[in-house]
Amino acid sequence: MTAVTAHRIGIATPTRRADLVGRWLAALASLATAVAFVNGVLLTINASDDRLFIEGWRVSSFGIFAALFVLLAVRPRQMAGVWEVVLVGKAALVVFGALIGDVPEARLSAIIDFGLVAVVASAYVLCRGWLAWRPATTNPTR
């Protein structure tokens, strides 16, 4: 298979520039989510007893997503399934936020998550995140 054929069917690795831009986008997603984490901690500290658990759950989710974005920025073609899980998870929140309508926090959260989906999807394409599924990258000892 020639390099041109490999590139046409999506096997070729990304250009250095595309890879760096994609990694920076994943890092930006992590930074934005880390800011949400800090804000969530402040909301949890001041939460009423009836909101304490849900705020704590939301904060832990922000921490998990921030960590996942860091993993994607550091090893974009070695995280088989992580790109897809993150994209589906965030897209589901956008859809849910749009469906429930004018509920406090839902509209703003859906808009923010839509931005994250756009950033992460761009990073996925630029870094060619689907290459993580190749057998050579799912088993680093090969």
pLDDT in tens, 90-108: 999 999 999 997 888 888 8
Counting as low any pLDDT under 50, the low residues of the chain are 1-2, 4-5, 137, 141-142
The pTM assigned to this predicted structure is 0.83
In three-state secondary structure terms, 9 is coil
How many helices (H) and strands (E) the chain has is answered by: 6, 0
In sequence order, what DSSP letters do the residues of 76-117 get, joined into one string? TTS-TTHHHHHHHHHHHHHHHHHHH-S-TTHHHHHHHHHHHH
pLDDT on residue 101:
78
pLDDT on residue 106:
87
Please say whether the beta carbons of 66 and 37 come within 8 A. Answer: yes
Please say whether the beta carbons of 80 and 133 come within 8 A. Answer: yes
pLDDT on residue 45:
94
* Average pLDDT of the chain to the nearest whole number: 89
